Structure 1
Amino acid sequence: MTAALRLGTRGSALAMAQSQQFADSLTAATGRAVELVPIVTAGDRSSEPVARLGVGVFVSALRDALIDGQIDFAVHSYKDLPTAGDARLHIAAVPVREDPRDALISRDGRTLAELPPGSRIGTGALRRIAQLHALGLQLEVAPIRGNVDTRLARVRGPEADLDAIILARAGLSRLGRLDEITETLDPMLMLPAPAQGALAIECRADDSETAALLALLDHPPTRAAVTAERALMATLEAGCSAPVAAFAVLAEGEPTESGDSTEEIYLRGAVISPDGSSDLRRSRTGTPAEAAEIGKALAAELLDLGADSILGQPARHSDPGTQEIGSTE
C-alpha cells in the first residue's frame, strides 16, 4: 500500500481547516491518502504583535520540518511566506483563491459607514489600521491578535469590549463562519493584503513525485494574481510592519485582430501612512505572463511618488526578497 502523504500545518483551527480542505481535494484528485501533521510555529507561541515578531514567524518551523523530511509538503497562508525564495523548496501549487476581501463584524449589525464617531474597532493589521484612518470616520482603532474565536469574542462575547472587528473573509469562509459577517468591505474602501485568501502548497525542490501530484491542484489565474501582488510587495521591500495593500484580478481584455479574447491582469496597489494622512494608490494592467513585471512596475511608480518615505526606509532595489506580511488570522 502506498504511504499517506504527510501534510505539515499550523495547529490553529483555521490552519487545520484549510489544510484538511486541501488534503481532501488532493485525495479526490489523486487517490493518495493525506495525513495532517500539526506543527507549532514561533508565531503561535507568542502573543507579541506580528510587526515585532520578524520574518517567517508563522512558516519557519513548517519549512524546517519539510527540509528535514519530517513532512512531505506544507500548506501556508500565502501572505505569511517571505518573498525571498529558498532553493531547497518549491511552491508546487497555488489553489483557487478564496474571496480576498476583508470583512466587518459589528456588535449591533452596523456597517462600517454606520458606526458612530468614537466607535472602537479592532484589527491586528497595520494595513487595515492605516486605511481606516485614511477614511476619516473618526473611529478608535484597537490592535488585536489571536485566533478567529478569540477575536470574535471581543465583539460578540459576554465580555465584548469592541464595537466591531475586521477579519479576512477567506478565513471565516474556510471555518464555515460566513454568517458572522456584517459587511464584506469593498476593496475601494479596504484594499486587501498581498496574497490574502490564497494558499501556497510547498514541497522539497528535489521531490518531483510529490510536486507533480500537488501541481494537479494549481490554479494559474490565482498564481498569476498573487505573483503580481507579491512582486509589488517585494520591490517595495515592505515588511509586516508596513501598511501596503495590493489586489490583482484577471479579466477579459481587448479582443485581438482575429477576434479572440485575451486575459488581462488589473493590479491595484497602495501605500498608506499609519495615521492615514498619506495615501498613495495606483493601478497597472498587463497579461498574466507579465505578472511579476506588472507588480515591479507598479511598485516603482509608487516609489517615484514617495512610497519609500511613507514606509520609513530608503528605496533599495538590490535585495528585495526578505520581507513578509504577517498573519492576520
Structure 2
Amino acid sequence: MRIGVLTGGGDAPGLNAVIRAVTKSLIHQGGAEVVGIEDGYLGLIERRVRPLDWRAVSGIGALGGTLLRTNNRVSPLSYQGRDRRDEVLAYARELGLDGLVAIGGDGTMSIADALNRHGLPTVGVPKTIDNDIAHVERSLGFDTAVTTVTDSLDRVQTTGESHGRVMIVETMGRNAGWLALEAGVAAAADIILIPEIEYDVARVAAVCREREARQRFTVICVAEGARARGADVTVQRRVEDSPEPVRLGGVADVLMAQLTPHVSSEVRTTILGHVQRGGAPTPSDRVLGTLLGDAGAALVLSGAWGHMVSLEQGRTGQVPLDSVANRTRTVPGDHPLLLCARRIGISLGDG
C-alpha cells in the first residue's frame, strides 16, 4: 500500500503531530509506504513530493507549522483558470498512490470530497484553529490558539488598567465565534463579540461607560466575523482564484471608530492575526493530533474512503466527506459557555 499525505488550508499548531501519527500508524500497522505531498494540493498539481519514513517524522510532534508546508489559495478544481483534477489523478497514479490523506478544514474537505468522487480514494483528518468543522467538537489547533489569545488578553488588561483605556483585541475565527468566546471567558474579558450575535454599538458603549465610572478600563474580545446590528462583516481583502476568496479582518478598528465618540477613555486596538496560528502546539493539541492522525490511518486501513475522522462526545468516528464540505459549525445560542458568560456578567453586546 502506498499512501499520500498532505496538509491543506491555513496552518495550525499540531499538524506535525498528525503527520507523525498517520505515517507511523500506516507503517506500523499496515506496512505501508507513505509519500508526503508538499504545499497542500499545489504539490499534486506541480508534482512536489517527498518520502515519509519512520525517521523523517520522528521528533516533530512538538514543532509548530507543518513539515509538508501548506497552501490556502490553490484548488485542483480550478487553478489558473482550469480544472486540474484529471492531471492530479494521473500524477497520483504515476506515483502509485492507493489513496490520499488530506489534513485540513472545511475547504480542504470539500476538495477532498471532489477528488474522491473523481477517482482518487481520499480520507480526511480535521484541523482548524477556528473550531468550526462539522462533526468535530474540538478541532486540532484550537487549544493552542485559545492559549495564545488568552495570554494576549491578559497582557492588554494590565496596560489597559494602567492607562484607563478601552482595549480591543481581535481574534480569528471567520464566521464562528468559538475562539473569541473561549479565550474571552478564560481571560475574564468584559465584553465578547462573536459573529453569531450582532452587537449594539450603544449597548457596548454603555458597558464601557459603566466601567469607566467603576474600574476605569474595559477589555473587549471581538471575533473577526463580528458585526454591528444591521451591518456587514468587515472584509480585509479579496483574493481571486482562491477557495477562500473573502478574507475577514479589521473589525477592531471599525469598533474603535464606533466607540470613540461615546466614551471618555482612549480606545486602543490589537489585531492578533497570524500569531494565533504560530508556535509550538500545547500538550493537548499534540495529544489530539496524535489521536486524529491514528484515526485517519485506521480509515485508510479499513478502506473507508470518502470519509473524515469525526470527534463527538469525546470519541473519534467517521462521517462522509460531503457532510463536512462547505459547512460551518457555529456557536449555538444555548451553548453552555455562552449562557455561563451571560450569567457571570460578561456582555455579548446585545443587551
Q: TM-score, normalised by structure 1?
A: 0.38
Task: Say which one has the larger Rg.
Answer: 2
Q: TM (normalized to structure 2)?
A: 0.36
